[in-house]
Structures are given as C-alpha cells and as structure tokens.
Amino acid sequence: MATLAEGGARPRAEERFFFHLACAMAAVLVAGFSVQLAAGRSSFAVPLVYHLHGVVFFGWTALFLLQSWLVASGNRAQHRRLGWLAAIWVPVMVGLGMALTVASMRRSGGPFFFDANEFLIGNPTGLLAFAAMVALAVRMRRRNDWHRRLMICAMASITGPGFGRLLPMPLLIPWGWEISNTIGLGFVAAGMLRDRRHLGAVHPAWLVGSAVVIGWIALGQVLAYSDWGMELTRSVMAGHPGAVRPMEAYLP
C-alpha cells in the first residue's frame, strides 16, 4: 500500500470502484467475526495470541480501507505517508498468523470442518502468498494500474476467515477449505468485469493475483497431504488437547 504515482491517473470513477471493493471485503471480515461472537460460538476468553492476532489483522483491514479512501478522495500525499506502514505490518501479520495457527492446533486441533493437516499447512502458505502479493504491489507502486489491482488481490486472498464464519462450513465438508479460500476471488472477478466493460480488456494484474491464490491453495494441499505434512501435523499436536481430534474434517 505504498506510493501511487502522480502521473497517469485513472478516472476518479475507477478509484471509487476500488474503494467500494475495499469496503465490501472489510464488511465480510467484520460480519464474519461479529456473527460468530453474537451467536456465542466465539469468546474473548482465549490466550493472548488470539487477541494480538485480531488487533493486528483488523488493524490491517482498517489501514487498507483508509488507504483506499485516501486515493479515492485524491489525498495521495497522505496515502504515501501511510503507505510504508505495510513494510512493518505485513511481516507482523505473517508471524502472528503462524503463531495463531500452531496455538489453535494445539488447543483444539483447529476448526473441525477442515482436515487438521490442511489447516496447519495451508494457513502459513496463504499468509506467505499474501505477503508476496503485497511486496509485488509495493515494488510496482509507480504503476498505478498494477499496484491497486495487486493490492485488491492480496486483500481478497485473506478474506477466507470472514467467509468461513458466514458460510455453513459443516455442510461443505470435505471441500470447505477450497471453497472458503477461493470465494474471495469473487472480488477479483468484479474487477475483471469492470475492466472488460470500461477498458475493453482484463488487466493482467488480475490474472497474476488469481494465479497466486489458486497456486497457494494447490501448493498447500500438496504439502499438507504429503508424508512430511502429515507427520508435521501429528508432531505439532502431540501432547496437547488438539491431538484427540481425527486428522480428517468431522462433525462434532
């Protein structure tokens, strides 16, 4: 979310469109966690790492939303000043995301509607893919067209936890992991459709972002179901309450 170049600005309508996409993704994340809390399926009585994770990830969501609004409102100077926070924020997100994954595996074996191994391996894989897309977007910050689309793709790639709390996940076994993590590509598809309508062609940044999302899911599955992935999952849960759950997704 770093600098957007001053030259070659797109029409303000495009900037508003990207802001609306950012609002929609933020709404999914907020709604997902709020619904679970209201339904009594989430609690604040959890270890500290859960709280730190929540603060950092929702902080990123707020920063992403703010940065999108600054561009849409034409305040690019402030956008530039805030943009480099991503260089600090994203590594913290990756570290806390991995720590929370391990903590969840040991505490309860992870969400019951996912195979334990796909959750343990897939989460870090997805976080690293997210970080890679943000890094690429920052690297291409002087190319407005690439920068903003790659940032949307990166944000869409981490909407899975929000969708996963809104979808009937137990009914999606055994495809819950794939469905909850690819449904965010609907935001990317919206961007593609707008490009087709207003620019006459789909921008290649959308294709790159989609390939990264599909690629990390596929890679995560290959690693999770390898002998190494299965053994790693058992070793992480060994000696902890989470070890009592079956490796496969199940209905409690």
Better-predicted residue by pLDDT, 61 or 252? 61
Query: Does the pLDDT of residue 225 top 90, yes or no?
Result: yes
pLDDT band for 38, please (50, 70, 90 cuts). Answer: confident
Per-residue pLDDT, 1: 40
Residue 216 is assigned to a structural domain of this protein: yes
Distance, C-alpha 250 to centroid of its chain: 24
pLDDT band for 153, please (50, 70, 90 cuts). Answer: very high
Per-residue pLDDT, 95: 96
For the full predicted model, state whether its pTM sits above 0.85. Answer: yes
Q: What percentage of the chain exceeds 90 in pLDDT?
A: 81
Average pLDDT of the chain to the nearest whole number: 92
Q: Please state, as a whole number, how many other Cβ atoms lie within 10 Å of the Cβ of residue 117.
A: 26
What is the per-residue pLDDT across 50-98, written as a single tens digit (0 to 9) for each? 999 999 999 999 999 999 999 998 888 888 888 888 888 999 999 999 9
Residue 50 is assigned to a structural domain of this protein: yes
Residue 69 is assigned to a structural domain of this protein: yes
Residue 94 is assigned to a structural domain of this protein: yes
Query: Does the pLDDT of residue 218 top 70, yes or no?
Result: yes
Residue of 231, 205, 212, 107 whose CA lies nearest to 150:
205
- Cβ pair 103, 242 in contact under 8 A: no
pLDDT band for 7, please (50, 70, 90 cuts). Answer: very low
Tell me the mean pLDDT in the region 228-245: 97
Residue of 73, 62, 58 whose CA lies nearest to 1:
62
Identify the domain containing residue 191 by its residue range. 12-238
Query: Does the pLDDT of residue 9 top 80, yes or no?
Result: no
What is the per-residue pLDDT across 174-213, written as a single tens digit (0 to 9) for each? 999 999 999 999 999 999 999 999 999 999 999 999 999 9
Residue 3 is assigned to a structural domain of this protein: no
Angle at 188 between CA 59 and CA 142, to 5 degrees: 70
Number of separate helices (H) and strands (E) present in the chain: 11, 0
Residue 1 is assigned to a structural domain of this protein: no
Per-residue pLDDT, 37: 83
- Cβ pair 236, 123 in contact under 8 A: no
Encoded tokens for 163: 């969708």
Per DSSP, helices labelled H in 73-113 are: 76-83, 85-108
Per-residue pLDDT, 42: 73
Query: Does the pLDDT of residue 237 top 90, yes or no?
Result: yes
Instruction: Kindly report the backbone phi and psi dihedral angles of residue 247, in degrees, each rounded to the nearest multiple of 5, phi listed first.
Output: -65, -35
Q: How many domains does the chain have?
A: 1
Residue 248 is assigned to a structural domain of this protein: no
Residue 159 is assigned to a structural domain of this protein: yes
Query: Does the pLDDT of residue 118 top 60, yes or no?
Result: yes
Residue of 26, 27, 233, 29 whose CA lies nearest to 123:
233
Per-residue pLDDT, 133: 97
The CA distance from 171 to 25, in Å, is 23
